[in-house]
Structure 1
Amino acid sequence: MSAPVLVFDLETVPDIEGARRLYDFDGLTDREVADALFAMRRAQTGSEFLRHPLHRIVSIGVLYQGGEALKLSAFGRDGEDGHTPDEAELLRQFFGVIDQRTPTLVSWNGSGFDLPVLHYRALVNGVQAPRYWEQGDDDREFRYNNYLSRFHWRHVDLMDVLAGFQGRAVTGLDTMASLLGFPGKLGMDGSMVWPAWRDGRAGEIHDYVEHDVLNTYLVWLRFEHMRGHLTDDALKSRQDQLADYLAASPAEHHLEFLEAWRG
């Protein structure tokens, strides 16, 4: 029986409190701190993309698929009691799935962005993840196939693998998904996350991360078909499973994705 799959994606904002400690930004508003960080980074590199440790995670989109089980969610949404989980809670939820299920992790650019950010932010928040960090000391099966080694298969960075591990050959998720006839981006992109968070529109961020996870999962299914792990019928079955799941969902952004995908 094949391992369950956990497709994931992060959405982040500047670590305002961390920046205050690093750069003596006391007295500045959150917006002023973020603007200062972006300006410093732009002066250093020509890009506003912050260093990995300064990305605070506000949403983790996950799609879990194992046999007939399928679940899509965004860690970070308010609970039924109105509680908004903090970053440490998001990290514990994510690594908890790995501890309990040992799924195959699937990402797009996870090796270059998502996993390093998860490492730094787990360290900052004191979050343990023993199964994720296993390399064969306690479980021999992890010696030659673990989550950390680039050429192992417990984590599949689709962008990296499809590019043949050549940086000059990489492409974006939106491009690849659209080429395959999937929805791609639906009205939001990564550059819009901080303004949305700053303006109190967290729900839009959680919807957006779920859309990215859906696109990644659909690309993953085609990848599994390409390398012979799914037959034509199995591919169709998995796609139909997802379409049925979305059709039964009360969430408008799920139906939006389904309409854009299958019309």
Structure 2
Amino acid sequence: MSDAVAHLIFDVESIADGDLIARVRYSDENLSASEAIAKYQAERLEQTGSTFIPHTFMVPIAVVIAKVSEDFRLLDIKSLDEPKSPGEPGFRPHVMTKHFWQGWEAYHMPQWVTFNGRTFDIPLMELAAFRFGLSVPKWFDESGYKSRRNRFSTASHLDLQELLTNFSAARFNGGLNLAAQALGKPGKMGLSGDQVQSYYDRGDLKAISDYCRCDVLDTYFVFLRCMVMTGKIDLRRETELVAIAKAWIESQQETCQACADYLSKWRLWHNPWQADEDEQLAAATMFETEVASNTSGD
């Protein structure tokens, strides 16, 4: 059983670059960074119903990555450039971007896995490399349709939303929150992407990182079910992997508030199969049920 990293499941939270917005959009108005952000958010709210600003004006402020083995076991989760103690520098966009791309190369270019990362997370991290002067030649290769940046190259980047919508042929209303909750997992944990800016403005960067970590956990469990759907594993193996991951989260909860919060919202997936319909499917999740019963009885 190899612990080599074959998949990197990640999520990014971002904040607006107010100085850039002021220069590009309001160059004649002499606005401060915060004034430019507020004005642009008001415009976006009127135009789209959301204050979310396009990724071209954003920089990463939290990047969380789950390392997953070839046999789909959760190995570890890291929040890039998260300080280990108060007073240490951390959550620096340029440092996170460097660690993101250099880490991918250090692990021999495993598959990126995201939920809606094709239209936001990956472009944001590419643009961050551009902004901060980083070279990523192995990502920006020139191999034509085999290029890692090819939209349909799922070996390099599997966007689970694209898998579930046949590359946007359908819509996935409800997003990651719906997909996770359909599997009994917590989904959104008290924060949403359009609130990240306000949390950053008041200096609560740890809360942003924790929110990002919970999204990565949700994405991992959605990834597992997608592997069942596409025949990479069966339901019994998914149940075993979910139990392994839950044990890992439990081992982290004393030192990781996000893990403790995630477990507090954990529910078992309801298996609808009856033995007379499909005995194997009906029995597939008994392991998780037994583990839950034994834990509750301790």
TM-score, normalization by structure 2? 0.78
Q: Structure 2 residue aligned with 1:162, among 160, 164, 180? A: 164
Answer yes or no: is 1:190 the counterpart of 2:196: no
Aligned to 2:149: 148
Gaps (5+ residues) in structure 2? 268-291, 293-298
**Deviations 1:138-172 (Å, cap 9, x if unpaired)?**
xxxxx655431111111011111101122542231
3-state SS, counterpart of residue 161 of structure 1: helix
1:223 aligns with 2:230: no
Q: Secondary structure at the match of 2:65?
A: strand
The 5-angstrom pairing of residues 1-263 of structure 1 reads 4-22=6-24, 23-24=26-27, 28-42=31-45, 47-66=50-69, 70-80=75-85, 82-101=88-107, 102-136=109-143, 145-153=146-154, 154-166=156-168, 168-171=170-173, 172-249=175-252, 250-262=255-267
User: Which has the larger share of helix?
Assistant: 1
Deviations along 1:67-112, whole A, 9 cap, x unmatched?
5661112224224471124211111111112111211111011111
**Residues 233 and 91 (structure 1), Cα distance of their counterparts in 2 relative to 1, 3 Å cut:** same
Q: CA deviation at 1:59?
A: 0.6
The answer to whether the 8 A contact 1:19-1:25 is kept is no
Compare 64-73 and 245-254 and name the one that shifted more. Answer: 64-73
The 1:28/1:78 distance shift into structure 2, 3 A limit, reads: farther
Q: Deviations over 1:191-217 (max 9, x none)?
A: 211110001111100000000000001
The residue type paired with residue 128 of structure 2 is R
User: How high is the sequence identity, in percent, across the aligned residues?
Assistant: 25
The whole-number CA distance in structure 2 between the counterparts of 1:167 and 1:194 is: 32
Shift in alpha-carbon separation, 1:144–1:229, aligned structure 2, 3 A = farther
Cα distance per residue 1:7-59 (max 9 Å; x no partner) = 11110111112223323378644432210221344455554332221011101
Determine the structure 1 residue equivalent to 2:285.
none
Moved more, 41-50 or 82-91: 41-50
Amino acid at match of 2:103: V
Q: Tell me the distance in 2 between the aligned counterparts of 1:111 and 1:236.
A: 28
What is the DSSP-based 3-state SS (H/G/I as helix, E as strand, rest coil) of the residue aligned with 2:66? strand
Equivalent residue letter for 1:104: Q
Matches of 2:49 and 2:242 in 1, distance apart? Answer: 41
**Distance in 1, Cα, partners of 2:16 & 2:258:** 26
Distance in 2, matches of 1:239 and 1:16, equals 41
Distance 1:56 1:151 in 2: 26
* Code of the aligned partner of 1:121: A
TM-score by length of 1: 0.88
Q: Which has the larger radius of gyration?
A: 2
Q: Secondary structure of the residue that 1:110 maps to in structure 2?
A: coil
The answer to whether the Cα contact below 8 Å between 1:98 and 1:132 also exists between their aligned partners in 2 is no
